[in-house]
């Protein structure tokens, strides 16, 4: 029965949801050059819908695409409650994902160290633990399940709450783990399409599942009053006024005109102000 269900899930990715999922996955990989010959990629599975879909997409790519790379599927248990942990293991078995599972005490540490919202510290610690495990397994890249909606929400959040223009990049060199990269293969996949795939296959996944939110976690809930939830709601309102809003937010960081910015920073940390060369433009 499990083998039949898994084949149905895999078929839905390649057939029914091919334009929305498989095509966008391969497009992101090609557009942003996320995979190179000889890569060994740690596909990081949190137990949520996005990372589990990513694992299945990688299985399909490795099975039917060019076999020029290796994959390790890894799951970190940062302190999930029993129900959430068992849900992850059940889905791994159902979808036949051969994952390496390891434990950490991140939830416990964050609970002790942070007052108020612990999300930033938790995310940073989890990423560090994933990098360390990936390096231990001989990987040179980790793959995270951030999608298109995460990207546009990050752009808008930076402007509204951070006073800056930046985006969630499709790939990054690690600053703390030499020779390691982070890639985001779901970069062009819409969250709504991930939800449709999960619903079509009657799959149940965990949400954040940290100790602050696990009692409230429901599939249709937002992030319980977070800035990301506010931004998600704002984008939904704007979409009602124009169907192009989301695409325009996404494209805004591809169409940056440096001569139309008051100031900008280069990767070396230097700040450039338009007044520095203002008079040169008139010559």
Percent of the chain with pLDDT over 90: 69
DSSP assignment, residue 273? Answer: E
HSE-up (13 A, CA, CB side) for residue 81: 12
d(CA 107, CA 112): 9
In a domain, residue 269? The reply is no
- Domain of residue 37 covers 2-257
Region 169-175: mean pLDDT is 95
Tens of pLDDT along 56-97? Answer: 999 999 988 777 899 999 998 887 888 888 999 999 999 999
d(CA 72, CA 10): 19
d(CA 19, CA 31): 16
In a domain, residue 275? The reply is no
d(CA 253, CA 159): 12
d(CA 117, CA 209): 14
Tens of pLDDT along 206-229? Answer: 876 555 444 444 444 444 447 888
In a domain, residue 232? The reply is yes
Q: What is the CATH number of the domain that holds 8?
A: 3.40.50.620
In a domain, residue 272? The reply is no
Tens of pLDDT along 12-54? Answer: 999 999 999 999 999 999 999 999 999 999 999 999 999 999 9
pLDDT band per the 50, 70, 90 thresholds, residue 2: confident
Counted domains in the chain: 1
Percent of the chain with pLDDT over 70: 86
Region 140-167: mean pLDDT is 95
């Amino acid at each position: 029965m499990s083998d039949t269900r898994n084949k149905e899930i895999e078929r839905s990715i390649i057939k029914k949801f091919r334009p929305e999922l498989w095509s966008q996955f391969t497009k992101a990989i090609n557009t942003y050059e996320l995979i190179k010959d000889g890569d060994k990629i740690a596909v990081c599975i949190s137990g949520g819908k996005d990372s589990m879909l990513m694992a299945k997409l990688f299985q399909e790519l490795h099975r039917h695409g060019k076999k020029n790379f290796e994959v390790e599927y890894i799951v970190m248990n940062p302190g999930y409650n029993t129900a959430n942990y068992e849900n992850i293991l059940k889905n791994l078995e159902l979808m036949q994902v051969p994952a390496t599972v390891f434990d950490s005490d991140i939830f416990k540490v964050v609970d002790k160290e942070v007052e108020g919202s612990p999300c930033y510290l938790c995310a940073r610690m989890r990423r560090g633990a994933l990098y360390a495990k990936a390096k231990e397994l001989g990987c040179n890249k980790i793959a995270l399940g951030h999608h298109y909606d995460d990207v546009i929400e990050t752009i808008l959040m930076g402007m509204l709450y951070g006073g800056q223009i930046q985006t969630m990049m499709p790939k990054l060199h690690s600053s703390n783990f030499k020779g390691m990269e982070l890639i985001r293969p779901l970069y062009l996949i819409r969250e709504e399409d991930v939800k449709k795939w999960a619903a079509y296959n009657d799959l149940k996944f965990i949400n954040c599942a940290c100790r602050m939110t696990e009692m409230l976690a429901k599939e249709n809930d937002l992030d319980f009053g977070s800035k990301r939830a506010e931004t998600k709601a704002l984008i939904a309102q704007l979409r009602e006024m124009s169907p192009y809003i989301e695409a325009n937010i996404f494209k805004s960081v591809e169409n940056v005109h440096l001569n139309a910015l008051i100031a900008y920073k280069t990767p070396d940390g230097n700040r450039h102000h338009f007044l520095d060369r203002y008079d040169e433009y008139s010559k």
